[in-house]
Structure 1
C-alpha cells in the first residue's frame, strides 16, 4: 500500500470514532471546594517513611504558597536530669529535685503523700522511702512532682518484678532489709554477707544494733553514734528494739535488693568496718571474734 492510500484510510477510521465521554460521567458530582478547605486539608499530619523509620511532619497552610519561607521545625522539649544515688533518703531527694526543677521541696513532699498517684505497690503501705529507685532520670520541664516521683516508683516496680519480689511472703521486709544492707555495706561485694548477718540475727531474735537505723531516727546522715544516741526511744533504734525498724531507711539499689533476697551462706552474726578509708569490712561469728575486730577498728580509727 502506498503512502497516499494509507493516509486516506487512517483519516477515514478517525472520522468514524466516537468522542470519548468526559471523566465526569464516571465520577460523582462534587462541588468545587473553597481554598480555605483545601488549605485546611494541607495542614494535616503527613507520615513519611524513611529507612524503616516513620518521621512525622505537619504541613503549614503557607506551604501552598511557592514564595512562603519554610518554617523551622520545633526542637525537642527541654528536659531536666536528676540522679538518685543508691542509699539516698527521700528527704535529700526532695532537696535535689527542688534544685533541679525550681519547684519547692515541699511540692515533692506533698506529692509523695499520695501513694496511689505514685503507683506504689501495696506492700509500700503508702510510703515512698525505699521505693524511689536509684538511677539517672530525664524528664521534661513540664513534668509535675507527682509524675517525676511516679517515674522512680515505676522503675522500682520494674526491678522488683525482675527479682520476683512481690511473690515473696513479706516483700516489705525484703525492702527494709535491702535498705539496711545498702546503708551498712561499703561495697556491693559486701552486701550478700551483710544481708546474711541481718538474717541470722533476726532468726535468733537478736537486736540488730545498726548505727544506720539510729542515725535515720535522728535525721542524721553520717558520723558516729554516741552513748546518748543509743538511748533514743525511736522505733528506729535497733539497739533498744528487736526486729526490723518500721520502714526502710534509704532507697536501695538492685544489688542490695538482690542481696536481701539471696544472702550469702554463712554463720556470721557480726560485721565491723575495720578500715573506713579503704572500706574494709570483716565478719565474725562469736562475741570474741567481734571484740577483736572492734579493737582493730578502734586502733585504725
Structure 2
C-alpha cells in the first residue's frame, strides 16, 4: 500500500495479522525498481521487524504503485461487454493506452472534464508487472513476470473515445483522475486471476457483477501476447477489460457531478469515488 497525502505517500504493507507496517526501512516507495529487485520477497522477510503504522486507518490511501511508465489496456475482454457495445468478441486482444498520470488513489475524486456528457465507469482487474516481459514463449513465463494484482477503474469519456477518437480510444481514457487504483497491490502468488468476482455500483445501485473467469483472454494470454509487440517494464500496469453493465450499453445514465461510484474485486479490496466537476 501507499498511504498519505497526494505526492507524499509512504510505502506500507499489511500482514496476515492485519497490522499495517511502515516499509520505509525497506524502500522509499513502491516503484518498478523496487518490484524488479525482488522487493515483495524482501518486504515479507522483514515485515515482522518493521514499525507498526498506528495511524494507518486515518491516512489517505494512494495508488499502490508509483510512477508506472505505461498503462496498457485491453478492450472488450468480456464477451457480454463486447455485445452490449454492439461488437462480437475480439479475435485478438484490442490494445489502447491511458496516460500514466491518470492514476490516483482508490477513494480520490473523479473529475468530470468541462462539457463532458458521457462519463462511464469500468471496474477492471489490474495486473502489475514485476520483471521485464519481452517476447515470451509461454503463458507460464508470462505469469512469472507478474508482481501482483490490483483493483483498477478505467474511467471513460465515451464521446471522446468513440465520436472524437479519430479511430483510437485513448482520447476518451486519459483525462486526469481517469484511473483510480488500489487500495492494495496483492502479490501474484496469493491470487488466482481467473477466479475473481468483480462488481460496481453507482449511487448504491448495482451496475456490474461478473467474474474474471469470463474473460475472453486470460491474464497469461494478455501478457504473453503484449510481450511480442512491446516490452513491458517493472511497475507497468495492464488493465484487463471490464464486464457488462456500463452506461455505454444504454441501460444506465452516464455519470454526473455528485454521483458516487463504488467498485471492487473480491480479495483485492474496494474503491469509492465521488464525481466532481473539474476545476
Indicate the structure (1 or 2) with the bigger Cα radius of gyration: 1
Provide the TM-score with structure 2 as the length reference: 0.21
Looking at both structures, which has the greater relative contact order when contacts are Cα pairs under 8 Å and sequence separation is at least 6? 2
Q: Please report the TM-score for the alignment, with normalisation by the length of structure 1.
A: 0.20
Bigger helix share: 1
- Give the strand-richer structure, 1 or 2: 2
